[in-house]
């Protein structure tokens, strides 16, 4: 089986959206493992995701839930490294889903699907974040149960 790509890239628009919702503008994935408790004072709510992988996977889930995909433009930016995605348990769930539903064969194809779903999902997330300064995850959880 072909391995995951070294890096996962998204459109630059999506990239900016992800970055807006993740803490730290220059943060690397290694830094994202840092606990929020180490932040000084009251935890700011403007950074809803602790890292880009987390944000990417939630965005993929929203895209899957809405059954919306968007093709990535040629102008892309590197969002996360494939290594971090592989380590996340959610990646395997998405892999099973995409393989079963879309007949994707390789990891590259699966990642492509995920990126397309995230491109759609991140826009919805960012809209809410932009409007409210936060994302109502309870609503998202309920949405999933309603959809079922």
Binding residues for another protein, per CB under 8 A? 35-37, 42-43, 48-50, 54, 57-58, 60-62, 64-65, 88-90, 92-94, 96-97, 99-101, 137-138, 140-141, 143-145, 147-148
Specify the residue, 38 or 74, whose C-beta has the smaller distance to another protein.
38
Nearby residues of 120 by Cβ (< 8 Å), 6 or more positions away: 59, 62, 63, 66, 68, 69, 70
Specify the residue, 73 or 92, whose C-beta has the smaller distance to another protein.
92
Min CB(138)–another protein separation in Å: 4
Specify the residue, 33 or 73, whose C-beta has the smaller distance to another protein.
33
Min CB(50)–another protein separation in Å: 5
Residue 51 burial class via C-beta count within 10 angstroms: exposed 0-12, middle 13-18, buried 19 and up: buried
Q: Which two tokens stand for residue 61?
A: 């889930």
Specify the residue, 25 or 100, whose C-beta has the smaller distance to another protein.
100
Min CB(9)–another protein separation in Å: 19
Min CB(116)–another protein separation in Å: 15
């Amino acid at each position: 089986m072909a391995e995951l790509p070294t890096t996962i890239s998204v459109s630059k628009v999506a990239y900016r959206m992800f970055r807006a919702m993740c803490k730290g503008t220059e943060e690397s994935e290694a830094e994202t493992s840092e606990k929020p408790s180490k932040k000084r004072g009251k935890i700011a709510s403007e950074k809803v995701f602790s890292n880009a992988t987390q944000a990417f996977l939630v965005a993929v889930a929203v895209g899957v839930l809405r059954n919306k995909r968007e093709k990535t433009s040629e102008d892309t930016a590197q969002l996360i490294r494939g290594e971090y995605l592989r380590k996340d348990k959610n990646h395997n769930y998405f892999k099973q889903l995409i393989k079963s539903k879309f007949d994707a064969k390789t990891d590259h194809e699966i990642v492509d699907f995920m990126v397309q779903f995230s491109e759609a999902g991140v826009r919805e997330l960012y809209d809410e974040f932009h409007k409210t300064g936060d994302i109502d995850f309870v609503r998202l959880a309920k949405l999933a149960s309603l959809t079922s």
